[in-house]
Amino acid sequence: EAGVVQSPRYKIIEKKQPVAFWCNPISGHNTLYWYLQNLGQGPELLIRYENEEAVDDSQLPKDRFSAERLKGVDSTLKIQPAELGDSAVYLCASSLVTSGIGAEQYFGPGTRLTVT
Protein backbone atom coordinates (compact mmCIF):
# COMPACT_ATOMS: atom_id res chain seq x y z
CA GLU A 1 0.00 0.00 0.00
CA ALA A 2 1.41 3.39 -1.00
CA GLY A 3 1.73 5.99 1.70
CA VAL A 4 0.71 9.63 1.59
CA VAL A 5 2.27 11.28 -1.46
CA GLN A 6 3.20 14.94 -1.64
CA SER A 7 4.69 17.06 -4.35
CA PRO A 8 6.85 18.90 -4.87
CA ARG A 9 9.31 17.87 -2.18
CA TYR A 10 11.14 21.18 -2.34
CA LYS A 11 10.14 24.60 -3.62
CA ILE A 12 12.05 27.87 -3.70
CA ILE A 13 10.16 31.00 -4.69
CA GLU A 14 10.51 34.73 -4.36
CA LYS A 15 8.23 36.59 -2.00
CA LYS A 16 4.91 37.73 -3.44
CA GLN A 17 4.86 34.77 -5.84
CA PRO A 18 2.16 32.10 -5.67
CA VAL A 19 2.87 28.48 -4.78
CA ALA A 20 0.81 25.31 -4.64
CA PHE A 21 1.32 21.99 -2.90
CA TRP A 22 -0.38 18.73 -3.77
CA CYS A 23 -1.28 15.78 -1.59
CA ASN A 24 -2.58 12.32 -2.42
CA PRO A 25 -3.74 10.54 0.74
CA ILE A 26 -3.77 6.84 1.41
CA SER A 27 -6.49 5.18 -0.61
CA GLY A 28 -9.75 5.00 1.31
CA HIS A 29 -8.79 7.53 3.97
CA ASN A 30 -11.64 9.93 4.50
CA THR A 31 -9.83 12.52 6.61
CA LEU A 32 -7.02 14.70 5.30
CA TYR A 33 -4.92 17.20 7.24
CA TRP A 34 -2.55 19.96 6.20
CA TYR A 35 0.06 20.93 8.78
CA LEU A 36 2.76 23.56 8.90
CA GLN A 37 6.03 22.60 10.61
CA ASN A 38 8.61 25.23 11.44
CA LEU A 39 12.18 24.21 12.15
CA GLY A 40 12.48 22.69 15.59
CA GLN A 41 8.75 22.74 16.21
CA GLY A 42 5.91 20.28 16.13
CA PRO A 43 3.33 20.26 13.33
CA GLU A 44 0.55 22.86 13.56
CA LEU A 45 -2.78 22.17 11.93
CA LEU A 46 -3.80 24.43 9.06
CA ILE A 47 -6.92 22.65 7.85
CA ARG A 48 -8.71 19.33 8.21
CA TYR A 49 -11.03 17.76 5.67
CA GLU A 50 -13.56 15.04 6.21
CA ASN A 51 -14.25 13.80 2.71
CA GLU A 52 -14.81 17.00 0.71
CA GLU A 53 -15.76 19.20 3.66
CA ALA A 54 -13.30 21.47 5.42
CA VAL A 55 -14.38 20.85 9.01
CA ASP A 56 -11.63 22.84 10.71
CA ASP A 57 -9.89 25.72 8.96
CA SER A 58 -9.67 27.99 11.98
CA GLN A 59 -5.86 28.16 11.80
CA LEU A 60 -5.66 28.78 8.05
CA PRO A 61 -4.62 32.38 7.21
CA LYS A 62 -7.42 32.90 4.75
CA ASP A 63 -6.12 36.17 3.38
CA ARG A 64 -3.35 34.33 1.55
CA PHE A 65 -3.90 30.60 2.02
CA SER A 66 -6.53 28.48 0.34
CA ALA A 67 -7.13 24.76 0.07
CA GLU A 68 -9.41 22.40 -1.71
CA ARG A 69 -10.15 18.71 -1.74
CA LEU A 70 -12.17 18.00 -4.82
CA LYS A 71 -13.94 14.62 -4.95
CA GLY A 72 -12.75 13.93 -1.43
CA VAL A 73 -9.42 12.46 -2.50
CA ASP A 74 -6.46 14.63 -3.54
CA SER A 75 -5.95 18.03 -2.00
CA THR A 76 -4.15 21.21 -2.97
CA LEU A 77 -2.88 23.92 -0.63
CA LYS A 78 -2.12 27.29 -2.16
CA ILE A 79 -0.36 30.41 -0.92
CA GLN A 80 -0.80 33.68 -2.78
CA PRO A 81 1.17 35.81 -2.32
CA ALA A 82 3.93 34.08 -0.37
CA GLU A 83 5.75 35.93 2.40
CA LEU A 84 9.19 35.33 3.90
CA GLY A 85 7.58 33.96 7.06
CA ASP A 86 5.87 31.20 5.10
CA SER A 87 9.17 29.33 4.78
CA ALA A 88 8.52 26.01 6.48
CA VAL A 89 7.71 22.37 5.80
CA TYR A 90 4.12 21.72 4.78
CA LEU A 91 2.97 18.28 5.83
CA CYS A 92 -0.07 16.41 4.62
CA ALA A 93 -1.53 13.56 6.64
CA SER A 94 -4.49 11.26 6.28
CA SER A 95 -6.49 8.91 8.44
CA LEU A 96 -9.50 6.65 8.29
CA VAL A 97 -12.03 7.82 10.82
CA THR A 98 -14.83 5.27 11.08
CA SER A 99 -16.28 6.05 14.46
CA GLY A 100 -15.56 8.72 16.97
CA ILE A 101 -12.10 10.20 16.89
CA GLY A 102 -8.52 9.37 17.67
CA ALA A 103 -7.61 7.65 14.42
CA GLU A 104 -3.97 7.05 13.51
CA GLN A 105 -2.53 9.70 11.21
CA TYR A 106 -0.15 8.83 8.41
CA PHE A 107 2.09 11.66 7.29
CA GLY A 108 3.49 12.44 3.89
CA PRO A 109 7.14 13.40 3.36
CA GLY A 110 6.30 17.10 3.31
CA THR A 111 7.12 19.99 1.01
CA ARG A 112 9.95 22.21 2.14
CA LEU A 113 9.15 25.77 1.07
CA THR A 114 11.79 28.48 0.99
CA VAL A 115 10.65 32.03 0.29
CA THR A 116 13.45 34.42 -0.65
For the bound state, the minimum distance from the C-beta of residue 85 to another protein, rounded and expressed in Å, comes to 18
- Return the closest-CA partner of residue 83 out of 42, 110, 115, 54: 115
DSSP state at residue 105: P
Nearest residue (CB) to another protein, 28 versus 42: 42
- 80 with 20: CB under 8 angstroms? no
For the bound state, the minimum distance from the C-beta of residue 44 to another protein, rounded and expressed in Å, comes to 7
Residues that bind another protein (CB under 8 A): 3-4, 33, 40-45, 48, 55-56, 91, 101-102, 104-110
For the bound state, the minimum distance from the C-beta of residue 115 to another protein, rounded and expressed in Å, comes to 19
Alpha carbon distance 10, 47 (integer Å): 21
